[in-house]
Chains A and B, each alone.
Chain A
Amino acid sequence: GAGVSQSPRYKVAKRGQDVALRCDPISGHVSLFWYQQALGQGPEFLTYFQNEAQLDKSGLPSDRFFAERPEGSVSTLKIQRTQQEDSAVYLCASSPSRPGSGNTIYFGEGSWLTVV
């Protein structure tokens, strides 16, 4: 596709429910990032993939959060046993190359998660 595509755009989950958020990066992009953006805050880094390898997951807030990119393209962020504090916009971003200072990173429109 022309840009980074995320689905669902909006998700309401009951507390304790599991959710899965999908990201389709720009075709051929090597690097893929997930960010969490709480209301009124800047995005915060969750995890990073280079192709299918998850090279950095230091930002995942708890072991209820899990991300995968099994074939090096589409990625899924899974949140188990959702809690109210998980309510946020989850942003996916991709970059055409391996990390190097100043690479342009392209963001999707985000998946808005509300936990009730």
Chain B
Amino acid sequence: GNSVTQMEGPVTLSEEAFLTINCTYTATGYPSLFWYVQYPGEGLQLLLKATKADDKGSNKGFEATYRKETTSFHLEKGSVQVSDSAVYFCALSEEDDKIIFGKGTRLHILP
């Protein structure tokens, strides 16, 4: 079945550091890929998405590229801020819109 594997946290970085959170997936078809973010005390929010191979999703300085050859969708940001501290979920869905999430990666940014 379909699944998502992402790096375990917590990840702790200093402000302005470069961020990578790895995500790989297994799917039977051609899924859409997502990164969701959950800030403390808030609900899940869509951060970015990509719907086909080689697409790059981007938002708030975060980027992820849909790599079909490596079945990956790694999240990157060039310079993180304290306000980026949150839990990040990689996810996929196929045509039924049922979203399959990874276990989440908690990110701590130190000032």
Interface Cβ pair total, 8 Å cutoff: 67
Q: Which residues of A contact B (CB under 8 A)?
A: 4, 31, 33, 35, 40-45, 48, 56, 91, 93, 95, 99-110
**What secondary structure prevails in chain A residues at the interface with B?**
loop
Q: Are B103 and A41 in contact (CB under 8 A)?
A: yes
* Chain A residues with CB under 8 A of B31: 101
Q: Are B95 and A100 in contact (CB under 8 A)?
A: yes
Most chain A C-beta atoms within 10 Å of own C-beta, residue among B45, B89, B96: B96
Q: Are A109 and B32 in contact (CB under 8 A)?
A: no
Residue B97, interface by CB 8 Å:
yes
Residue B93, interface by CB 8 Å:
yes
Given A102-B51, A104-B46, A45–B97 Cβ distance below 8 Å?
no
Q: Are B97 and A107 in contact (CB under 8 A)?
A: no
* Chain B residues with CB under 8 A of A4: 43
Q: Mark B21-34, 1 if CB is under 8 A from A, else 0.
A: 00000000011100
Given A101-B32, A102-B51, A107-B43, A43–B97 Cβ distance below 8 Å?
no
Q: Are A101 and B51 in contact (CB under 8 A)?
A: yes
Q: Mark B68-106, 1 if CB is under 8 A from A, else 0.
A: 000000000000000000000101011111111111100
* Chain B residues with CB under 8 A of A35: 99
Instruction: Select which of B43, B93, B96 is within 8 A of A91 by beta carbon.
Output: B43
Q: Are B104 and A99 in contact (CB under 8 A)?
A: no
Supply 17 A–B pairs (Cβ within 8 Å), ascending by A: A4-B43, A31-B97, A33-B98, A40-B103, A42-B103, A43-B89, A44-B101, A45-B99, A48-B96, A91-B44, A95-B97, A99-B96, A101-B51, A101-B95, A102-B51, A102-B93, A109-B43
